[in-house]
Structure formats: C-alpha cells, structure tokens
A and B are shown apart, each in its own frame.
Chain A
C-alpha cells in the first residue's frame, strides 16, 4: 500500500467518524485542523484505523502521534511495511 492509499483511507475514516464529507487531509494535518477531532474522539478514530489497517493502535505511542503522517508511519511499521 502506498502513502496515497493510506491517506485516502485515513481521510475516509475521518469523514465517516465525523459525518463530514468536507474533511480533506494531508500528512501534516493535525487533530486541531479537523473539526471535532480531539483527544476524546481520537479513540474512535484509532478504532476505525485499527479495523481498516488490521493493526493495534490503542497505546501511548499512537495516542501521542502529532499528525496524520506520524500515525501513518506507526501503522506502516506495525504492518511491517
């Protein structure tokens, strides 16, 4: 899976979690750039990412990722990519 696929899937997840088709993200996007995405709603985002990418993300490292790019790198590493 290449970076564009990761970003596309990630974006789709955010759109579904927040019911907002307007959400557009890049690797530099942080939670504050997306309406509704904060530390509380982050748990749901992580759960949906886990389902899509079939990897565990409910831990301190994933919870502390600073932006979308960092989270994608964590996911890739755990998928052995």
Chain B
C-alpha cells in the first residue's frame, strides 16, 4: 500500500471532533469497536491510517499533518513496538502531537508460543491454483519453518510430512513455557512505553479465552480489552463484554494450533476437532489445514 493516504475518504462530520488512529492491521478492528460506543460515535469522526506492513507502517502513508494538528485524539503505536524499521516518522509523529490533542499510545501484541515454528510464508509469493470463491489465490496466513524445512530437504513425500508433523510433540522440541515467558516479557518491556496495556490480560486469559488468531493477530477478546481502555481515557463508559458475541473475529485469519501445543498449555477454548476460520470460506481442522499447507493447496 505505497503512498496511501487512506484506503477511502473518511466521512468527516464538522460537528464532531477528529480521532486519528495510526497503526497496524489491528487498528481497524479497534476503530470499529470504538464506534460501537454511542458516546464515542456521537463525539468523534474516526480517521484510521493503517498498514498491514509492519516495517513500513508509517512510511506507507502521506500523513496529513494539518489533520493531525486539528485532531482531538491521536492514537498510535509508539516506536519500538515491532521491528518497525523506519521509525523516524514515528518520532516525528510523537513530536508533532500538539498540546491541544490527547496522544494515546497502544500496543501491537504478538505471541509465538502457540505457533513456535512461525515464519512468514515464502510460498505466498508463488502462484496458487486453488482460488477462493472471489477468485483470489489461496494464501496461508503464516508459515511453519519445520514443514518448510522438510519440503526443502525433499526426503519425504507430502503424506509422510503430514503424518510426521501431526504426530510431533512440539513440547519436546521447544521449551514452550520459556517461549511463552519470552513473549510476555518482550511485550511487558515494550508496554512500559504505552498508555494502553495488554500483558496482564493475556497472562490471565490465554488458557481460557481466544487471545490470538495467529502470531501477529489478536482476537476479539483483546480488541475489546484495548478499546475499553481507550474509551476510559476519553471519559466514556466501557462496552459490555458481550458486545462482540454476535460478530465473527474482526482480525482475520485464524491459524490452527498444533495439538501438542494445545495439550501443553491445557487450552480450554479449543480441541483437536476445532474448525479454524482460516479465511471467509475455509474452516479446516488442524489436520485438514496441514494437509493443504504441505501441498500448498
């Protein structure tokens, strides 16, 4: 999304004040949830600059600095919340928030303990003959370094790789508790710089509630937790916990968790037969997902 000022012209009602949000893909979901608050909605226009490319999330935009200067609230990820790369624009942003605006910094949480072999999926750059009903080629939300290594070696058939992978005990290969602790400590150290907090919520809930859809994507439970803190900062009442019950997950896509990881962490909110919302039309079990992933279908 190079040089993209905004994905669409925002509807700006001159009777309302401007609430500007600059951030990663999760910011779209947070904006949506904020507007479920009638108090918030009646007071603010929401203008959301977002990018799915975390390394260029700021440089992707031509920020309207005049708009920022007039904004009542500016919400953004502070420098350091990811390997943002070109962080100088963040520094410029922070320096340009006027004393008339309320600056709210918010986190971009990530968790690899549920997907310890997480890598970006390199094959997504290749042509895929499987197309969804919208005729877009199938893409996998994230990659798995273990399977990719098996494919690269070429010593086993796809069926053998699937069988081997499904029957792995990942807890014998990776210290999952240490990885979880590492994820939490990394977020905690970054959270010192943010107004909005997330680590305590994850610590308390990761076994009983869906907190992450994939390593870089939070679930509705966290979206609501973040949005309610923003509402509080603005002086509004929090939204009820049930407000998102009728919605599917706002941040796509759900990535299956290996059964041995489910067992290790004793996750209560899913099991081996759970169907994951990998895209709008595809809800495979873990094993069905792996069969397709190995064959890139």
Residues of A in contact with B (beta carbons under 8 Å apart): 17-20, 31, 35-36, 38-44, 46-47, 58-60, 63-64
Bound form: Cα–Cα A36–B140 in Å? 15
- Which residues on the A side are within 8 Å of B54 (C-beta)? 39
Q: Once the chains bind, are A60 and B190 in contact (CB under 8 Å)?
A: yes
4 tightest Cβ-Cβ pairs between the two chains A and B: A19-B149, A36-B119, A39-B83, A58-B185
Q: Give Cα distance in the complex from A58 to B150, angstroms.
A: 30
Question: Helix, strand, loop or mixed for chain A's interface?
Answer: loop
CB-CB under 8 A for A44 and B189, given A20-B149, A39-B82: no
Q: How far is the CA of A41 from the CA of B146 in the complex (A)?
A: 13
Among A31, A36, A46, point to the contact of B83 (Cβ < 8 A).
A31
Is B37 an interface residue when CB atoms closer than 8 A count as contact?
Answer: no
Query: Are B119 and A58 closer than 8 Å at their CB atoms?
Result: no
Chain A residues whose C-beta falls within 8 Å of the C-beta of B116 in the assembled complex: 44
The count of A-to-B residue pairs whose CB atoms sit within 8 angstroms is 67
Q: In the complex, are the beta carbons of B145 and A18 less than 8 A apart?
A: yes
- B-side contacts of A63, CB under 8 Å: 80, 186, 189-190
A27 smallest CB distance to B (angstroms)? 19
Does B56 interact with chain A (Cβ within 8 Å)?
no
Contact bitstring B51-89, A, C-beta under 8 A = 1, else 0: 000100000000000000000000000001011000000
Binding site for A on B (CB under 8 A): 54, 80, 82-83, 110, 112, 116-120, 122, 143, 145-146, 148-150, 152, 174-175, 178-179, 182-183, 185-186, 189-190, 215-216
Q: Are B186 and A58 within 8 A (Cβ)? A: yes
Choose one: A18, A31, A44, A64; the contact of B112 (CB below 8 Å).
Answer: A44
Q: Are B119 and A46 in contact (CB under 8 A)?
A: no
Query: Chain A residues near B82 (CB, 8 Å)?
Result: 39
- The listed residue with most B CB atoms (<10 A of its CB), out of A20, A39, A46, A59, is A39
Considering the complex, give the chain A residue whose CB is closest to the CB of B184. Answer: A58
Tell me, in angstroms, the Cα distance from A17 to B83 when the chains sit together: 19
Q: What separation, in Å, do the CA atoms of A39 and B182 have in the docked complex? A: 13
Contact B80 A64 (CB under 8 A): yes
Pair B189/A40 contact, Cβ less than 8 Å:
no
B159 nearest CB across to chain A (Å): 20
Least CB distance from B54 to A in Å reads 7
Which residues does chain A contribute within 8 Å of B117, judged by CB atoms? 19
B182 contacts across to A, CB distance below 8 A: 43-44, 46-47, 58
* Interface pair B146/A42, CB less than 8 Å apart: no
Residues of B within 8 A of A39 (CB): 54, 82-83, 110
